[in-house]
Amino acid sequence: MNVMRTGMLLAFMTALFMGVGFLIGGTGGMMIALVVAAGMNLFSYWNSDKMVLRMHHAVEVDEANAPEYYAIVRDLAANANLPMPKVYVIQNDQPNAFATGRNPQNAAVAASTGLLQRLSPQEVAAVMAHELAHVEHRDTLTMTITATLAGAISMLGNFAMFFGGGSRENNNPLGFIGILVAMIVAPFAAMIVQMAISRTREYAADRRGAQICGNPLWLASALNKIARGAKAIVNEDAERNPASAPLFIINPLSGQGADNLFSTHPSTENRIAALEAMAQEFGRAPAAPHSARSPQAPVDDQPGDERPSPWGRDGGGRKGPWA
């Protein structure tokens, strides 16, 4: 099902890319766009993860220079029976995180310095468990490739604004109107990605992430902090590359809080409510509403855990070598 969904999405994005090419350069432009799209699909499959990491200036870390963060990811990957992903840090004050990679064997997870500094170890563990759930569900391939293609469509629309439609040899039947359509399509490229990336994946990743880390309330508390931080702190890299927004656990773009048809993410309040309902299933009802909850999540290892969790040693957020 995931392979079919990815294939259909790629076909749609390719057709859109070709359509914009036709509006700019007629049949010749469409054929050029087809060749470019085919090459881009192939290139994106192998390299889109590297491109997204580069967009956000992510730096790979290991056990030597980020021991606590790396240990959290390592233990969570073991809990989920996943290969150990590459671990990255994004030098950005906005608390946020994302996962990328074409499959679990070639996955990477990235957390911002703002997230690592502002969240407790339990909350960091819950966030990274959510990202590993995306890896397990193979959502990362679809999200990274569509982000790359949407960015390319936006650039093609900008090209139409400056260079398209001036020649009479252009066999575009719509003429200048076609160029205007191409220019209008480009700003909606990010919206297309938002609609293409089903928001039900976030709920599924929340639920699976809570299972991996062992406590839904840790993720609920983390989402609350990240949402508030995302509203207060501008992520300049994300603003420059809006097509990458669906990759993040919380929308990193400013002014995007509504849970509507075109939102990149479900409402944070709805996600927290679902996690609190899941906590009741686990027998861990929240002691207070999420808006008033203490930033220090309770340390509550699951019965039957045979080894201590690195995120269960204390409840306070700590700076590390990534600071």
Res 42: pLDDT: 77
What DSSP line would sit under 59-99, residue for residue? Answer: EEE-TTTSHHHHHHHHHHHHHTT-PPPEEEEE--SS--EEE
Check the annotation: does 130 bind a ligand: yes
| pLDDT < 50 positions in the chain | 167-169, 256-261, 287-309, 312-323
Res 282: pLDDT: 78
Catalytic-role residue among 123, 131, 136, 169? 131
Classified as helix, coil or strand, 248 is strand
Cα 148 from chain centroid? 12
Check the annotation: does 202 bind a ligand: yes
Residues in the chain: 323
Res 171: pLDDT: 55
Look up residue 233 and give its two tokens: 């702190």
190-204 pLDDT, tens digit per residue, is 566 556 666 778 999
What structural domains does the chain harbor? 54-161+188-295 (3.30.2010.10)
> Cα separation of 124 and 46, whole Å?
29
Answer whether 245's CB lies under 8 Å from 190's CB.
yes
Res 305: pLDDT: 40
The residue type found at 301 is: D
Which residues 6+ apart lie within 8 Å of 231 measured at CB? 254, 257
Residue 100 is given by DSSP the state E
> Cα separation of 258 and 314, whole Å?
35
Answer whether 252's CB lies under 8 Å from 96's CB.
yes
Res 8: pLDDT: 73
Paired with 111 in beta bridges are 89, 97
136 is catalytic: no
Check the annotation: does 239 bind a ligand: no
Crossing angle of the two packed helices 216-232 and 200-213, in degrees rounded to 10: 130
Nearest to 22 by CA among 184, 188, 182: 182
